[in-house]
Chains A and B, each alone.
Chain A
Amino acid sequence: MTTITITSESSITVTFGDKIDLEIHRKVLDFNDRLLANPFPGLLSVVPAYASATVFFDPVLVKEYWPEQVSPVRTIHAFLEEEINQSPIPNPPILNPPISIEIPVRYNGPDLLEVAERLQLTENEIVRLHTETTYTVFMIGFLPGFPYLGPLPKALELPRRDTPRLRVSAGSVAIAGRQTGIYPQTSPGGWHLIGHTDFPLFNPIKNPPAFLQSGIRVRFVSV
Chain B
Amino acid sequence: MKIKILTPGILTTVQDLGRPQWRSCGVPLGGAVDTLSHRLSNFLVGNKGSAATLEIAGGGFLANVEKSGWMAVCGAGGQFFVDKKEIGNGRLVFAPKGSELEIRANPKGNFTYLATPGGWDVSEVLGSRSICLSAGFGGFEGRGLRKEDVLSAADSSDNLKSSNELREGKVWVSKWFVNSPTFRKLSTFGKFDNVIRALPGSEFHWWGETQQQRFFNTPFIVSKQRDRMGVRLETVSGDSTFGKLDSMLSTAVAPGTVQVPPDGQPIALLADAQTTGGYPRIAQVVAVDIPRLAQIPTGKIIQFQQVALEEAEELFFGQENLLQKIRLSLQYRWLEKMMQ
Contacts and interface: CB of A to CB of B under 8 A. Distances in A.
Among B136, B275, B287, the most chain A Cβ lie within 10 Å of the Cβ of B275
Interface stretch (B59-67, B182-190, B236-244, B307-315): B307-315
Given A50-B251, A202-B135, A9 B274 contact: no
Given A13-B202, A47-B252, A50-B249, A8 B287 contact: yes
Contacts of B210: none
A56 B125 CA distance: 21
Contacts of A143: 26, 134-135, 274
A73 to B, nearest CB: 7
Interface string B12-25: 00000000111111
Contact of B250 (A45, A50, A71): A50
Among A8, A20, A48, A72, the most chain B Cβ lie within 10 Å of the Cβ of A8
B256 A141 contact: no
Contact of A7 (B284, B286, B317): B284
A88 to B, nearest CB: 23
A144 B126 CA distance: 12
Given A139-B276, A141-B26, A205-B125, A49 B284 contact: no
B24 A46 contact: yes
A192 B1 CA distance: 50
Interface in A17-74: 18-20, 44-52, 54, 56, 58-60, 63, 70-74
Contact of B25 (A13, A70, A140, A205): A140
Contact of A45 (B21, B136, B287): B21
B134 A185 contact: yes
Given A56-B254, A63-B317, A140-B24, A7 B202 contact: yes
A13 B274 CA distance: 17
Contacts of B136: 185
A18 to B, nearest CB: 7
Interface in B268-313: 274-277, 281, 284, 286-287, 309-310, 312-313
A139 B250 contact: yes
B254 A141 contact: no
B251 A49 contact: yes
A9 B275 CA distance: 17
A71 B313 contact: yes
Interface string A200-219: 00101100111001100000
Contacts of B310: 71
B9 interface: no
A97 to B, nearest CB: 19
Given A45-B20, A144-B134, A204-B126, A8 B26 contact: no
A124 B17 CA distance: 49
A63 B134 CA distance: 33
B199 interface: yes
B138 interface: yes
Contacts of B312: 9
B216 interface: no
Nearest to B198: A8
B286 A9 contact: yes
A134 interface: no
B40 to A, nearest CB: 17
Interface string A116-147: 00000000000000000000000111111110
A140 B28 CA distance: 11
A45 B320 CA distance: 22
Contact of B249 (A6, A19, A70, A205): A19
Nearest to A10: B287
B250 A144 contact: no
Given A184-B135, A202-B135, A145 B313 contact: no
A190 B281 CA distance: 21
A141 B138 CA distance: 19
A49 B276 contact: yes
* Minimum-distance CB pairs A-B, first 4: A141-B276, A54-B252, A210-B25, A47-B252
Given A47-B252, A50-B249, 10 more contacts: A7-B252, A51-B249, A59-B316, A71-B309, A139-B250, A144-B28, A145-B26, A145-B135, A202-B26, A210-B25
